[in-house]
Amino acid sequence: MRKNPVDQSRLAAQVILNVRSGSAISRRGLAEALGVSPSTTGLYVDELVEAGLLRENGLEQGKMGRPKRRLSTVPGAGWFAGVEFHAGRVQAARVDFSGRLIHSQSFALPANPTTRTVMEQLREAVAWLAGRSPGRMLAIGVGAPGVVDPKNGTGLHYSFIEDWRDVPVVEELGFEFGVRVTLENNLRVIALAERWFGDGGGLANYIVLGPRRGFGVAIVNEGQLLGGAHQAAGEVGNWWWPSGGAMREMHDELSAPAVWRRLAGAAETEKLPADLHQALALVARNSAREEVVRDFAKVTGWLQLLLDTEAFILHGPLTALGDSFWNEVSEETARLMPRLAARQPRITCSSLTDNAGALGAASLAMEAWQPSS
């Protein structure tokens, strides 16, 4: 019999995640997916049905054998809050127990916000979600920019909020709302949004490319977010990069603003356009295109040689360059690195919208939550 309450909660959470994702929706399928006996699986399913978290109905006929009853989550069993931010705004999303988006909203931050301002807006955003409709909030996920310490729930550093240093995000929000709070870097939570709502569904290995003001990537390896020993995995923008005989960093050449300047022939001192996405679309076929394609091909090729991923998913303003640009990048990678010709994945522009970070933060909460034993 099961003894350890922590292990019980963890396994029950895995049952729910498998059912929610659709990867295992029968008792037998769950037993195979989790590597436990059918009798043990049955005990967990019975308890979760009794608790109102799962329901069992209908018949699913397999290729052989007896029909299997279909399991599903109960949408109204509770909900998850996701909040994600940068120096300009806070995004919030509410997701029901079955993983469906119910509400989302954006909240502007004042110019040059302080840590106190941001934390107050995060609280207000969660409260806004709670006030939209009845139901029990189960957990909160937070996507924070810069360097974070997920284990201790702390935002360590973010260059664009001057006093954002060692901020106890999890402690403060947990005290305010009385539920489990989980913190992660905002690009990594976007990778979770891709798993539940976007192009990462069904993939065990993929990389989210995030060239914005800087250039980071979020890595999902064998189904797990890769943070690294110092939570700095994916900081590829800091790679040394040759440019005109000088050594710079890669984000100096391939961040979204840098790419616009290269394609537009603009000086580094020139003011960025108000709508960078639209501006990039206008210069996508300018004369520097071939050189920019080659540079991105090097980056995706190096990442593929290192991580052997299944897919690259692009987020941010550079999606405005269009599918044809990124198809050229894939083709150029195979030309530069012939060994990758047979296994260089295509780069897809994400189908998610501006609320991807909040969706990812809600996904983070959803994956971290465990039922009480």
Q: What is the CATH number of the domain that holds 33?
A: 1.10.10.10
219: domain CATH number?
Answer: 3.30.420.40
Residue 373 lies in a domain: no
Same-domain check for residues 251 and 118: no
Same-domain check for residues 238 and 265: yes
Same-domain check for residues 360 and 344: no
Q: Are 109 and 117 in contact (CB under 8 A)?
A: yes
pLDDT given at position 69: 85
Residue 105 buriedness (CB in 10 A; 0-12 / 13-18 / 19+): middle
Residue 55 lies in a domain: yes
pLDDT given at position 1: 39
| Domain final position from 44, 73, 102 | 73
Cα 310–chain centre separation: 16
Please report, in tens digits, the pLDDT of each residue of the chain (373 residues total).
345 777 899 999 999 999 999 999 999 999 999 999 999 999 999 999 999 999 998 755 556 666 668 999 999 999 999 999 999 999 999 999 999 999 999 999 999 999 999 999 999 999 999 999 899 999 999 999 999 999 999 999 999 999 999 999 999 999 999 999 999 999 999 999 999 999 999 999 999 999 999 999 999 999 999 999 999 999 999 999 987 778 899 999 999 999 999 999 999 999 999 999 999 999 999 999 999 999 999 999 999 999 999 999 999 999 999 999 999 999 999 999 999 998 888 899 999 999 999 999 999 999 999 998 6
Residue 125 buriedness (CB in 10 A; 0-12 / 13-18 / 19+): buried
How far is 299 from 8, CA to CA, in rounded Å?
Answer: 43
Q: Are strands 154-157 and 147-149 parallel, antiparallel or unpaired?
A: antiparallel
Same-domain check for residues 35 and 141: no
Q: Which residues pair with 69 in a beta bridge?
A: 59
Nearest to 79 by CA among 142, 18, 126: 126
Same-domain check for residues 294 and 279: yes
The predicted model scores a pTM of 0.93
Sign of the four-CA dihedral 328, 333, 339, 345: negative
Same-domain check for residues 104 and 51: no
Same-domain check for residues 173 and 112: yes
| Domain final position from 54, 73, 92 | 73
Same-domain check for residues 274 and 321: yes
Q: Which residues pair with 208 in a beta bridge?
A: 218, 313
Residue span of the structural domain in which 21 resides: 5-73
pLDDT given at position 3: 58
How far is 253 from 21, CA to CA, in rounded Å?
Answer: 39
Same-domain check for residues 230 and 323: yes
Token pair for 370: 């465990």
Matching residue, tokens 């436990």:
36
Same-domain check for residues 56 and 147: no
Same-domain check for residues 161 and 248: no
In degrees and rounded to multiples of 5, residue 223 shows phi and psi of 85, -5
Same-domain check for residues 46 and 143: no
How far is 317 from 292, CA to CA, in rounded Å?
Answer: 15
Residue 67 buriedness (CB in 10 A; 0-12 / 13-18 / 19+): exposed
Count of domains observed in the chain: 3
The answer for residues whose C-beta is within 8 angstroms of residue 224's C-beta and 6 or more apart is none
CA distances for 21 relative to 32, 72, 132, 219, 234, angstroms: 15, 10, 25, 20, 26
| Domain final position from 73, 105, 122 | 73
pLDDT given at position 19: 98
pLDDT given at position 66: 60
Q: Are 143 and 190 in contact (CB under 8 A)?
A: yes
